[in-house]
Structures are given as C-alpha cells and as structure tokens.
Structure 1
C-alpha cells in the first residue's frame, strides 16, 4: 500500500471507527506525514506496510535529533501505534511493527525549550542605549531566526550575508567546515542592518577581523563564552528560571518550526544535521522552498 492510500484510509478510520474530532484527525495525520517524510529522506522506496520495528525506532531517533520535545515524541508515538493498528485491522499488514516500540532513553536531558514569549522577553531585556545593545539584539535575533550553533554565530561573515529582500539568506559554515544556506527572518535582518550600518561602522576593527559580523568594543571577534554569559545575564534579568544557553535558541528554533507543522526535511537542512540523512535525495532543497518554510512557520517572520 502506498502512502497516499494508507493516510486516506487512516483518516476515514479515525472519523468513522473512532469518531474523533476534526482537529484530532488532522493532528494524527500530520504525525503520519512526518513518518512519510522520514521514509522519503532515509529510504525513499519504503512504503508504510514495509516498515519494521527498527525503521520505526530510527524514525523516533530522527525526530529526537531534530530537537522535538519528549512530550511531542510521545504524541507522535501514539499516532504511529494507531496507524499500524488500522493497517493490521484492514489486513494490510500481518504483524504490527509498532507493538514493541518504546521511547528511546535519552542519555542527557534535552535543553529547555523557550516559548515565543520567553524569546521576546529575553530580547526585550537588552539595554539598547549602549552600543553593544544593538549588537546583542542582532545576535539573539539571528540565533533564533536561523537556529545557529554558537560557534556558527561568532564566525558569521559579512561576505556570507545576503539581506536583499529578494534573497534573504545567510551562508553558514558548520561542523567539518560544511557550508549551508539558511533563510533569515525579517526581524533578524532589521536588527543586523542596525548593528552593521549604524553601530559596527564606528568600531575600530582589528586587522584580520574585518569580515566578521560580530565584534567586541575593541574590534575583535566575540568568544563563545561571551554569548553564554550574555544569555545567562538576560535570563536572570527577566527572572527566567529555566537553565538556558545559546543552544536553547537553536533547540527552540527547531521545535517551534516542527511543532508548527514545518517539513522535517527542511528543518533538517537548515540545522545542518548530516547524521540524520543517509541518502543525498534531499541534500540540496530548493532555496525558495526553505524560505517559504521560514515565512510560513517561524514565529519571528
């Protein structure tokens, strides 16, 4: 059975046999669509009736690596079990591969996810009366708008920014010096333009640092430690009890997009998660498509 037929039949089953409300049916359907996306990204020929337990475990690990919260993983797991119960009842499969499926044990606690309100409050706590305030606002806007690692933020280059309204991408050098293009939301662009055009131009830039976007008052590159301390200070300023770091912004970026309904393959591409994909079928998604994902699903757009 192919994916469109299986999902259509599943929706009918949820409506007629389980008498679920429309919102619940749509939620279940979105979860199975994520499984479909995984099948296309990992093994594009894998149909729903060919999934084994190991494939389902791979899917759970996949969404975990993307930063989805444990609660969301549990909800998706429930949807998968309902889906395979339907396929079993409909005689599409002879054995249920999800029967023994359990949540993977997470060795380390996932970082706290910031709500959109938390993000706004943290950025709003920055003192914009000081020159470094404009820089700090731009940094946090970019962290959240693009899901960057802190090292990618501190190494961001002026030559890798494309802030033209018809483009709006930044080129990021990630792990292993692999480069990727990430769309950037409008509010982050505005903050960057203020920093670069109105504040950074007055900084006495040190030799060799001319192309770096973010500099300290002495015209040298910022350290990762500085970004950590800045976020910690802002959290204390607004009374935020969560234990956060620059990576929390990256985690929140992915979580807000995925839980908002964004395509997992697009989020994977923007995060630069090589380990998730074993084929190259989605290695270079269309730039306009990635931009549309940010525009539609990112709260800051």
Structure 2
C-alpha cells in the first residue's frame, strides 16, 4: 500500500503574486508560451534569490534586493555561470515587469524596481571596409553594361559616397538630385530624408555623380518604361521603386563577386564613409552633419575606429614603435 498523499506545499505570497502576473500575461496580454516559459525561469531564479534574503512577500522587496539580484546575475554562483549583460538585462526586464504589475494592481504601495536599469550591452564598434575593399566592391557591382549593373553601381556609389542609409537611398526621387556640371568638376548635391523625415543636403563626389549619370541616361529609361512614371531614382525591372531587400541583394552579390568575407551590408558602406572621412582628417562635427546624426555622441563612436587605424599605421611605420 502506498503511504498517505502529502498535501502540496503552500505557495509563498511572492509565488502567488508571480503566478498571477504570468496568468495576466497569458490571458490578457496573449503572450506566447515560449515567452511565458522564459519569464517563469527568470522569476524562479529571482524568487530563489529573495528567499536567501529572507523575503517571501511582495511588500518586503526593496530596491536594494533588485540591485543585489542584478549583481548576483553578473557574478554567478555554484549553480549558474555569470550572465552576460544581454542575458542579465532580459532577466531584469522580467523582474521589473512583475513589480510594475503588482504596483498597478495595488498589491504593493510602490515599485522597488522602478529606478533599476538593465545593464547596457557593450557597444560594438562599427565594421568598416578598407578603401581597397570598397574599390573592389564597387568594381564588382559594375560588371556588365546592362541596366541592372548600372543601377547597382550607382546605388553603391551613393551609399558610400554620401554615407546614406539604405532607406534614404531607395527613397531618392529625381527632384532630390542636383548633379552639377561635369565640365567644371562640380559634384553637385543630393537631398536625403533621414529619420523623422529630417532633411539634409549632402555633397556628391565625381564617382557617384558619374555612376548616377550613366544609370539615369543609359539604364533607368529601359527599366522605368515598365512602370507608371515613378519619380524614384532607383527602380526595379517592373518599373517600381527598388525595395530594401533588393538593395541588400545587390550589395551581397557584389561582395561575393569581389571575394569579400564577412557580412557586407548597406550600413557597412555608411560606416566606411564615416571612418574614411575621419581618417582623412575631417572634423567629427562635419561628419555628424553628413550622417544626419542628431547628437555628436553617436558620431564619436567612429573616432574610436579611426584611432585604432592610427595605432595600426603607427605600429607599422614608426621606427620606435616595435621593440
């Protein structure tokens, strides 16, 4: 005979509160089972940590408990390795969601996690191509003399020559171009519309101007004929505006033909534009304007890339750089 069935252990007030939050997410917010399982794992670890601090009720949690838990995640323990900033941030997001729910429901007087910020992941430096790699990429885009090859070369020249985002390049209309005059070497300008439709005027160099001239004169008329008079600068084979995906595909194909390793994207050309300007001595404020950054702080990340380039040049060229 089996022994008497033991009644389940009573849930702590914190456990009941957490189960109520997860039920709210499932029923009222429609969160997926995958998300709910992740939140369950994160809050299980949180509740276990609070238990070691002698806390088993929502009203007993203080801000220090939340910050100590975050430090515990980054430090790790015998059962868990230290969490990277991204993973720790995800766990803290679950904890903050729980406490915010309890505060809104009136279960507690305030939210002890309100001022606790998830750790920021380390900011990766942008990837930039060398000038030689950019030249190989642009040459590979120009293979052939058909309309598509002319368009792809002009597109890549604009992305690199103007530092344009891919969304800005494909949104260009014919009226946004002022290409200047070839006989006096005037490069002209391009009008770009960035985030929030913020307009900026960017100079366009001779190579990009010549590539655009070739596309507009010898390539675009054939493709645009299939459409209904679109004003778009870059069009597809059906005469409509070129899509972001098609722009990505053109760059990927050119990178493959050029034998470039790694992920080469439209943003790679924008990064390369900024880095090469700084390497050439451009002021960071000028680069900020050209890129359309609202704050110079965003642009200054490129100065780290440029500094690394200077270190490499110094190490190779200065007679006292190496022992």
After TM superposition, the score normalised by the length of structure 1 is 0.54
The list of structure 1 runs, each at least 4 consecutive aligned residues, that deviate by more than 4 angstroms after superposition, is none
Note the alpha carbon deviations across 1:49-85, whole angstroms, 9 max, x for none: xxxxxxxxxxxxxxxxxxxxxxxxxxxxxxxxxxxxx
CA distance, structure 1, for counterparts of residue 124 and residue 247 of structure 2? 22
CA distance, structure 1, for counterparts of residue 132 and residue 275 of structure 2? 14
The match for 1:117 is 132
Of residues 288, 296, 303, the one that matches 1:276 is 296
Answering whether residue 179 of structure 2 is matched by residue 158 of structure 1, we say no
The match for 2:196 is 176
The 1:111/1:265 distance shift into structure 2, 3 A limit, reads: closer
Secondary structure of residue in 1 paired with 2:240: coil
CA distance, structure 2, for counterparts of residue 133 and residue 187 of structure 1? 15
Note the alpha carbon deviations across 1:75-123, whole angstroms, 9 max, x for none: xxxxxxxxxxxxxxxxxxxxxxxxxxxxxx8635334211111111111
CA distance, structure 2, for counterparts of residue 154 and residue 270 of structure 1? 18
After TM superposition, the score normalised by the length of structure 2 is 0.51
Answering whether residue 256 of structure 2 is matched by residue 267 of structure 1, we say no
- Gaps (5+ residues) in structure 2? 1-119, 298-323
Note the alpha carbon deviations across 1:173-224, whole angstroms, 9 max, x for none: 11000100000010100000010012212231523x6211000111011111
The match for 1:142 is 158
The match for 1:197 is 217
The 1:225/1:122 distance shift into structure 2, 3 A limit, reads: same
- Gaps (5+ residues) in structure 1? 1-104, 278-301
Of residues 130, 146, 157, the one that matches 2:146 is 130
Secondary structure of residue in 1 paired with 2:201: strand
The match for 1:206 is 227
CA distance, structure 1, for counterparts of residue 291 and residue 237 of structure 2? 30
Secondary structure of residue in 2 paired with 1:210: coil
Deviation for aligned residue 1:157? 1.1
Q: Contact 1:111/1:244 (CA < 8 Å) preserved in 2?
A: no
Secondary structure of residue in 1 paired with 2:295: helix
The match for 1:252 is 272
Secondary structure of residue in 1 paired with 2:232: coil
Q: Contact 2:147/2:218 (CA < 8 Å) preserved in 1?
A: no
Q: Contact 1:154/1:222 (CA < 8 Å) preserved in 2?
A: yes
Deviation for aligned residue 1:226? 1.1
**Which of structures 1 and 2 has the bigger CA Rg?**
2
The 1:144/1:167 distance shift into structure 2, 3 A limit, reads: closer
Q: Contact 1:112/1:242 (CA < 8 Å) preserved in 2?
A: no
CA distance, structure 2, for counterparts of residue 273 and residue 163 of structure 1? 24
The match for 1:238 is 258
* Count, aligned residues: 173
Note the alpha carbon deviations across 1:207-249, whole angstroms, 9 max, x for none: 3x62110001110111111111221222222221122200000
Q: Which has the higher contact order (CA 8 A, sep 6+)?
A: 1
The 1:222/1:235 distance shift into structure 2, 3 A limit, reads: same
The match for 1:229 is 249
- For the aligned residue pairs, the C-alpha RMSD in angstroms reads 2.0
